Amino acid sequence: MRVTASCTGSCGELIQGWLGNSQKLVSYGIDRFSKVTLQTGITSKGAKPKIEKAINKTLDHLRIPTAKREKLSFVINSELPIAKGMASSTADIAAACQATAAYYRRKITRDEIIDICLAIERTDSILFPTLTLFEQKNGSVRESSGWAPHFYVVVLEPEETLETEAFHSQVNERLFFQQRELFAEVYQYYLSAVKEKSLQMLGEAATQSALLNQEILAKPYFSELVKLRQYHQWLGVNVAHSGSVVGIMIEKPEDIPAVLEVIKKSNVSRWYSKVSVHQSCYRGVELIEARKMNEEADDRRCFQRLRKDNDNAWLNETFAKSRVSSSTL
């Protein structure tokens, strides 16, 4: 049996800072993915310990008896760079959870996947179908905005990397805490953007959060980016608050070529060696393939898009009806 699941990545966060008694964030997904394929075979070991943990924790959560656990190999096909703030770990782990559940013909909800992710490491909010305020350490806060705004983002990616867990030191936690009053203003601006469904206000909230983050994890040439944003009236500039990427938020696709030209001619390109264009994406985690090893992919593939908090059902019960379901999962 062969099963493949995917999960969106992100371009940093829209906002991140101290609210209440801990850090909270709001991320947005982009159309850049990590795919995890599970199949019967020699157990994969050593290369990706987080994936192994995700598989084992999913099996434990689903209460799959040890005697029924097959030897599985996995392959990761990811478009997301590691340790740059694009949610590569969250995407890998979430896709592995979904693939594991599907392999054993079990249902698994978005919240269950998030809980497994949190048991392994800090987690992003990319699995949600709308912008969601999220407590990334224990998941105690999951406040949906009900809004999934569409916009484009020019992703500026340097060679620099930074592991998320290494970033979250006591010193940095203290710095976020010290900014709590200023971040409360950013958060209120974000809430206003959600209420008004305003991309302009959302971009401003993201830019203000990024400005605060300059005191914690400064991005090279950020002041120049802010000036360019003001001059060219871009929606906003958002950053990976615990990573190295920067996003330029754009409303209209016809404006993208001009943005790319501005970046190319500016000093910004000296540091950000890779530039790519994406759009916001709220697909989260989904099952994209399930088939027998010796068969062509069934035309009736089973997709599970976890769109609602209480969505425990397959969107397409193909497993129960197609040739895929007759195989040993």
**pLDDT for 4-32, tens place per residue?**
999 999 999 999 999 999 999 999 999 99
Reply yes or no on whether the pLDDT at 192 is more than 90: yes
Q: Residue 60 is part of a domain; what is its CATH number?
A: 3.30.230.120
What is the percentage of the chain residues whose pLDDT exceeds 90?
Answer: 75
Domain span including residue 287: 2-326
Confidence bin at 161 (pLDDT 50/70/90): confident
Going by C-alpha positions, the residue among 205, 189, 200, 195 that lies closest to residue 252 is 200
Statement: residue 46 has pLDDT above 50? no
Check: CB of residue 92 under 8 Å from CB of residue 50.
Answer: yes
CB neighbours of residue 209 within 10 Å: 29
Number of Cβ within 10 Å of residue 311's Cβ equals 16
pLDDT of residue 312: 37
Average pLDDT over residues 272-288: 96
Q: What is the pLDDT of residues 223-258, one digit of tens each?
A: 999 999 999 999 999 999 989 999 999 999 999 999
pLDDT > 50? residue 305: no
| Number of domains making up the chain | 1
Vertex 41 angle, CA 112 and 94, to 5°: 20
pLDDT at 294: 59
Q: In this predicted structure, what is the pLDDT of residue 190?
A: 98
Token couple for 83:
């340790």
pTM metric for this prediction: 0.86
Output the pLDDT for position 301.
41
Binning pLDDT at 50, 70 and 90, where does residue 1 land?
confident
**How far, in Å, are 16, 25, 28 from residue 148 at the CA level?**
18, 16, 9
Residue 299 has pLDDT above 60, yes or no: no
For the chain, the average pLDDT equals 87
CA angle 19, 22, 25 (to 5 degrees): 65
* pLDDT at residue 165 in the model: 60
pLDDT band at 71 (very low <50, low <70, confident <90, very high): confident
> Is the model's pLDDT at 47 over the cut of 70?
no
